Amino acid sequence: MGFSRAARDELARIMPERRCCQLAELAGLAYIDGRLTPQGYDLIVGQAAAARMAFRLLKQLYQPYMEIRVRRRVRFSKHNVYTIRIPSQPRLRRIVGGLQGVQQRYTKGRWGRPCCRKAFLRGVYICRGSLTNPRKNYHLEIVTDSFQQAAVIQSLMETFGLAPGVVQRKKHVALYFKDGEQISQLLNLLGGHNAVLSLENVRVVKGMRNQVNRLVNCETANMDKTLEAAYRQAENIKLIEEKGWFPSLSPDLREVANLRLQYPYASLKELGEMLDPPLSKSGVNHRFRKLEAIAEEIREEKTR
């Protein structure tokens, strides 16, 4: 089972305790995909989890007569499409009124209780949400049919401190998160605690891997700098020898020069420990700077 489906199925197994939260979640499920038709009220969804949840909530709240139809989508994904139809009946007006009442309150920014807001968001996500496997990248999105729907959901998320991005894709408008922390916060808010644990495990592994990579890259860069400096120092010493300046060097400079030629890959610290008496890294570097100044003087004379 994919990560997105597992998260959706986990959320769909949650049954709110309060009746108001049950109605809010059902309103979230129907917010984008609910349609009032001459035949009754249709909820058309592409997720089996959404169809199961809608059926359970309708039974719990109203116990209406319902018809459930399943058809195979032929093009593209070839997934099933589920239609839950509530035909014309005495309870229909009450059902539609309840759903539209919640949706209209949220459209006007009258948010009400946090528990109901969470339930509404959970219903929206179960119907229209998707989550990329975090091992690949962090990406959660909810697809809506209009900017108006996206704006309501975005404002509702902002009441919980979440800040989704919004992008238009052909005929749809998507709200999305690309930050692992925000995705984890949303899933936890909706009640997907197992999904949060799985996501956090991936984040920890990714964080450790990135840290190791940074340390390795840093170590490699330092090694490259050390080897580059050692090569330059050895070239300066060889030039001084070729021009016959080596015997005129002070004993300290000759000593460190001989060590560099003998140990071309040693670090400044290692060379300092070989000296008698031992010398600090900065002290060894100071001597090599003197040798470099002498080599530059030789090069300048050569170009005159």
pLDDT average per 10 residues of sequence, the chain (304 residues): 84 92 94 89 88 92 91 68 91 92 92 92 93 86 93 94 91 91 91 86 76 77 80 85 83 85 84 86 87 84 68
What is residue 151's predicted lDDT score, i.e. its pLDDT? 94
Q: What is the pLDDT of residue 31?
A: 92
pLDDT at residue 77, as a whole number: 56
Is the distance from CB of 20 to CB of 116 less than 8 angstroms? yes
Q: What is the C-alpha separation between 249 and 151, in angstroms, rounded?
A: 78
pLDDT for the residue 162: 93
Q: How far is CA 171 from the centre of its chain?
A: 26
Largest CA distance in the chain: 111
Per-residue pLDDT tens over the stretch 220-261: 777 778 788 888 888 888 888 888 888 888 888 888 888 888
The domain segmentation of the chain, as residue ranges, is: 3-191, 213-303
Among the listed residues 57, 56, 50, 68, the one whose alpha carbon sits nearest the alpha carbon of residue 9: 50
- Residue located via tokens 């808010």: 189
Instruction: Please name the residue ranges forming H helices in the chain.
Output: 3-12, 19-33, 48-61, 92-107, 114-128, 147-158, 180-190, 193-242, 251-262, 268-274, 281-303
Residue matched to tokens 């071309």:
264
Question: What is the pLDDT, as a whole number, of residue 304?
Answer: 61
CATH number 3.30.420.40 given to 3-191: no
Q: Is the pTM of this model over 0.75?
A: no
Residues 6+ apart with CB under 8 A from 65: 86, 87, 89
